[in-house]
Chain A
Amino acid sequence: MSWAAVLTLGVGTYLLRLVGIVLRDRMTVPERVERYLDLAATALLVALVATATLTEGGGFAGWARPAGVLVGAVAAWRRVPFVLVVVLAAATTAGLRILGVP
């Protein structure tokens, strides 16, 4: 690990963050494109949820984590306050792990 590595990743990541914001500012976005940009963010976030829920290092994450996410999802759908959604998901997974579920 070196300063060169840290700065390359840091500056590179910042530029990736900035480029979308700059492009957005530079163009006039028609309504149809606006819809696609919004859907792109949804696509990425749902894909992130799916992979973070079910996979770990390219394989299956085990049952405890998806069970916790499922409990959190049901709670969110039932309009349980957000803080409780987070706590319920974590507690479910932690509890299952204590019981020996991978």
Chain B
Amino acid sequence: MRSLTRTLHADDLRDALALAAAIAVVGASFGALAGTAGVPFVLMIALSVVVFAGASQFLVVAVVAAGGNVFAAVAAGLLMNARHVPFGLAIGDTIADRWPARLLGAHLLIDESVAFSRARGSGPRGRAAYWTCGILLFVFWNVGAIVGRLAGSAIPDPAAFGVDAAFPAALLAMLLPALRRADARRVGLTAAVVALAATPFLPAGVPVIVGLLGLLAARTAREES
């Protein structure tokens, strides 16, 4: 932990706090929705703490609210969260060197912490960034959910604050260093086109995984010859 604070840049902490503030707003809307859906308070907190994957949590609670089959929703949520496997493959080394820390760090593996860390390389700064972003977002997400649950209908729609635009913009900003490479731009563009084309036909979260087909554009001229 001491090494973490030593390698942490003030800029990185500030940037992670900006993300955390935005995620708290989304967490509050999740808490409000869980209240409306009649999910018991303790269950809602357990869901938020144990799952810590926003989109799949919203999916399950929305199905509960609509009176649908919870286990079908859980299966859909797990399918949605399958993207964490390639994320772990990509930055598993960055998280920690030793297993106790890795087991803890695995739970902080989310889209934002992956993008945040990768934008800062795979060295000590990338590692400190991963933990900082992961811990802050975990805390703010859960506190946001509790506040939202307590405030209930007093919570305005997060769409009014434009947070739904803040997250893609933030992810894109964090991807810019990676997209300086031509092969990454080709892969990214292909992934985006494939995922968008698949969206009307596939369940939520699956088009993103289909975006892995973007790797077909990874071949370099050197490999082809």
Chains A and B are bound partners = yes
Q: Which of B14, B50, B199, B215 is A10 in contact with, Cβ under 8 Å?
A: B50
- A1-B43, A83-B15, A94-B160 are contacts. A40–B89 as well, Cβ < 8 Å? yes
Interface-side segment among B1-9, B136-144, B172-180: B172-180
A6 touches B88 (CB 8 A): no
A7 to B204, CA, bound (A): 21
Smallest distance from the beta carbon of B22 to chain A beta carbons, Å?
A: 6
List residues of chain A with CB within 8 A of the CB of B89.
Answer: 20-21, 23-24, 37, 40
Number of interface residues of A (CB under 8 A): 74
Q: Give A60 Cβ to nearest chain B Cβ, in Å.
A: 10
Number of chain B interface residues as a range:
35 or more
In angstroms, Cα B95 to Cα A24, docked, is 11
Distance in angstroms between the alpha carbons of A52 and B166 in the assembled complex: 10
**B69-87 interface mask toward A, CB cutoff 8 Å, 1 = contact, 0 = none?**
0110110011001111111
A34 to chain B: closest CB distance in Å?
9
Q: Please determine whether B85 and A19 come into contact, CB atoms closer than 8 angstroms.
A: yes
In the complex, the answer to whether A90 meets B195 with C-beta atoms within 8 Å is no
Q: How far is the CA of A35 from the CA of B187 in the complex (A)?
A: 12
Residues on B facing A (Cβ under 8 Å): 14-15, 18-19, 22, 37-40, 43, 46-47, 50-53, 56, 60-61, 64, 70-71, 73-74, 77-78, 81-93, 95, 102-103, 105-107, 109, 111, 114-115, 118, 159-176, 178-179, 183-184, 187-196, 199-200, 204, 207-215, 218
